[in-house]
Amino acid sequence: MKNELSIPLTSANRSEQKPRTSIRSAALWVVQVLLALLFLFAGGMKLMMPIQVLLAQMAVPLPGLFVRFIGVIEVAGALGLTFPALLRIKPFLTPLAACGLVIEMIGATAITVISMGAAPALMPLVVGLLAAFVAYSRRNLLAV
Asked whether the predicted pLDDT for residue 2 surpasses 90, the reply is no
> Per mean pLDDT, which of 54-63, 78-87, 133-142 is the most reliable?
78-87
Q: Residue 24: which pLDDT band, with cuts at 50, 70 and 90?
A: confident
Asked whether the predicted pLDDT for residue 10 surpasses 70, the reply is no
Residue 82 is predicted with a pLDDT of 94
Burial environment of residue 99 by CB neighbours within 10 A (0 to 12, 13 to 18, 19 or more): buried
CA 125 to chain centre: 11
Q: Residue 17: which pLDDT band, with cuts at 50, 70 and 90?
A: low
Residue 78 is predicted with a pLDDT of 97
